[in-house]
């Protein structure tokens, strides 16, 4: 008898093995997700701080970076520009960072001369660790994984 093809049992066994491999691969990638979210959030905060400094230099008005309160907005920040006519802060950008908590001990203000007042230490953390972002008076942004 000339049999071609696979039996139903062989096909089901192959499907079960491939499903197990896909399941294990997905689980290992999901374990990596918090680490990459943490790293990406720290880089984004540092990039926004540099953006605030450059915006202040180029547009000639103060720009403030501010972490929003932890009540319901954990991991959120806003970038604001000071209106020179009335002194009010106008929102430029803002974002909620998924999967991380964001704390800052101050809201740094970048001035048109390139300096920073209200120096801050910003902590970005989740279950995989934390990054500490510090600002120098000259506007330099430093990121350290703790």
Q: What is the CATH number of the domain that holds 38?
A: 3.55.40.10
Assess if residue 3 is contained within a domain: no
Assess if residue 52 is contained within a domain: yes
Total number of domains in the chain = 1
Assess if residue 1 is contained within a domain: no
What are the C-alpha distances in Å from 121 to residues 14, 16, 47, 129? 54, 51, 15, 16
pLDDT digits (tens, 9 = 90+) for 23-52: 888 877 777 889 999 999 999 999 999 999
Assess if residue 15 is contained within a domain: yes
Distance CA 38, CA 87 (A): 35
Calculate ∠ Cα 85-86-90, nearest 5°: 100
Predicted confidence (pLDDT) at residue 136 exceeds the cutoff of 70: yes
pTM exceeds cut of 0.85: no
Name residue 133's beta-bridge partners: 122, 143
| Mean pLDDT along residues 89-107 | 93
């Amino acid at each position: 008898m000339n049999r071609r093809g696979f039996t139903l049992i062989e096909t089901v066994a192959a499907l079960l093995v491939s499903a197990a491999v896909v399941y294990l691969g997905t689980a290992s990638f999901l374990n990596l997700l918090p680490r990459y979210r943490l790293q990406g959030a720290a880089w984004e905060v540092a990039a926004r701080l540099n953006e605030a400094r450059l915006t202040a230099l180029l547009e000639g008005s103060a720009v403030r970076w501010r972490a929003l309160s932890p009540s319901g907005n954990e991991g959120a920040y806003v970038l604001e520009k000071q209106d020179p006519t009335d002194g009010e802060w106008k929102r430029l950008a803002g974002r909620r960072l998924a999967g991380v908590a964001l704390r800052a001990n101050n809201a740094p203000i970048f001035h048109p001369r390139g300096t920073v007042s209200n120096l801050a230490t910003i902590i970005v953390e989740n279950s995989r660790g934390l990054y500490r972002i510090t600002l120098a008076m000259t506007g330099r942004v430093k990121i350290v994984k703790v």
